[in-house]
Amino acid sequence: MKEDQAASSTQRRYEIAEDVLRSNIEMGTLPPGLVLLEGPIADILQTSRAPVQRALQTLEAEGLVHRFSGRGFLVGPPGTDSEPNRTDIKSLGLVVPRHADEALQSRSSWERIYNTVEADVAGCVVFGRYRIIEIELANHFNVSRTVVRDVLTRLRERGLVRKNQSSHWIAGPLTAQTVKDHFVLRKILEPPAIRLGAAAISPRRLESLLHRLRATEATSNAGSLSEIETIQSEFIECCVLTAPNDRLKDLVRNNLMPVIATDRLLRRLGLPGDPAIITELRLITELLLRGATEAAVSMMETHLEASLNRTIAQMKIVAIVPGPSVTAAYLTPVLD
């Protein structure tokens, strides 16, 4: 038992989720054809969706689950003709070993408040510059200054906050120029990353991604792209981050953080996603699957230019929206 606990404590959260799901599939607790959705699994494991998403992607690569025309994954290898079984997974008695449950629940305090703070910050930065006062943030959530600094450090890594010359934590402003700067870096980094990694991309993984993109493209419209962030993330992991250069991959990931935060902010403000994004990603994936690497690189450049134009257009809409009527108490507007 101690060995199990020690192993769990060194595992990442997605690895623990993988182990739990894998063992339940092998035991038959999760039967063939069962539809697996990130949300219900995350609820059972009391974790966020991100580690569950990554765990399912790994299990897909292992052939234990596969995608289908609906949302989520089906238990079983691809090619099986199982009718989707939509039984609520919470009713099946998912077996979560005690050591895995303890490891999943031993989250640092910063993780418990991070999503709320991120949402508070993201909801106001497009409207101007705000100062975050550590002691007020700590009092707001009844946590220590150490926890607050952990949260703010991670927000800085994602490009949502920074420290000014006076060492004050500042959020915003999110401007069109900021967005343009990140897209300039995307154009420098991501198309060459596709060129470098194209030969190493698994055809099976590309086919799975293409299947999901086609299904999403066939059923989505501008008002129903709730999964757009997830599928964009899958595309980046599959087609861009396969490049055999760890430094390049780190640069891509770090530059994408504020871009993703910007997209998330615009969605939270009620602006819809654009179905053209899915079409563009589908075209790139098709070209890679056919071995047309240079055409895929060119299409990626076109996609990034179109994405920048879409984002700037939406930010112009937000610019005429009145500022937030309510902000968190620890966010103080900074008057220029």
- Give residue limits of the domains in the chain: 2-105, 109-174+321-333, 176-319
Rounded to whole angstroms, the Cα distance separating 153 from 171 reads 12
Cβ distance 140 to 329 under 8 Å? Answer: yes
Banded pLDDT at 2 (limits 50, 70, 90): very low
Least confident of 64-68, 224-228, 288-292: 224-228
pLDDT for 8 equals 39
Q: What is the 3-state secondary structure (H, E, C) of the chain?
A: CHHHHHHHHHCCHHHHHHHHHHHHHHHCCCCCCEEECHHHHHHHHCCCHHHHHHHHHHHHHCCCEEECCCCCEEECCCCCCCCCECCCHHHCCCCCCHHHHHHHHCCCHHHHHHHHHHHHHHCCHHHCCEEECHHHHHHHHCCCHHHHHHHHHHHHHCCCEEECCCCCEEECCCCHHHHHHHHHHHHHHHHHHHHHHHHHCCHHHHHHHHHHHHHHHHHCCCCCCCCHHHHHHHHHHHHHCCCCCHHHHHHHHHHHHHHHHHHHHHHHCCCCCCCHHHHHHHHHHHHHHCCCHHHHHHHHHHHHHHHHHHHHHHHHHHHCCCCCCCCCCCEEECCC
Q: Of 71 and 198, which is predicted with more confidence?
A: 198
- pLDDT at residue 289 tops 80: yes
For residue 173, is the peptide bond before it cis, meaning its omega torsion is within 30 degrees of 0? yes
Class of domain 176-319: mainly alpha
Banded pLDDT at 189 (limits 50, 70, 90): very high
pLDDT for 325 equals 56
In this structure, the strands spanning 130-132 and 161-163 are: unpaired
Percent of the chain exceeding pLDDT 90 equals 35
Banded pLDDT at 108 (limits 50, 70, 90): low
User: Residue 277 has which token pair?
Assistant: 């994004």
Counted residue by residue, the chain has a size of: 336
Cβ distance 206 to 279 under 8 Å? Answer: no
pLDDT for 194 equals 97
Highest mean pLDDT, choosing among 134-148, 195-209, 248-262:
195-209
Q: Establish whether domains 109-174+321-333 and 176-319 are of one fold.
A: no
Banded pLDDT at 109 (limits 50, 70, 90): low
- pLDDT at residue 225 tops 70: no
What region does 33 belong to: left with phi over 0, alpha with psi -120 to 50, or beta?
left
The answer to whether the predicted template modeling score (pTM) of the entire model surpasses 0.75 is no
Q: Assign domain 2-105 to its CATH architecture.
A: Orthogonal Bundle (1.10)
Cβ distance 8 to 50 under 8 Å? Answer: no
Cβ distance 38 to 49 under 8 Å? Answer: yes
For 126-147, what is each residue's pLDDT tens digit? Answer: 778 899 999 999 888 888 888 8
pLDDT for 226 equals 53
Alpha-carbon dihedral angle through residues 263, 267, 272, 273, given to the nearest 10 degrees: 30
Is the domain covering 109-174+321-333 a CATH 3.40.1160.10 domain?
A: no
Average pLDDT over every residue of 323-336: 76
Residues 6+ apart with CB under 8 A from 72: 35, 36, 37, 38
Least confident of 31-40, 102-111, 151-160: 102-111
- The residue behind tokens 């999503």 is 115
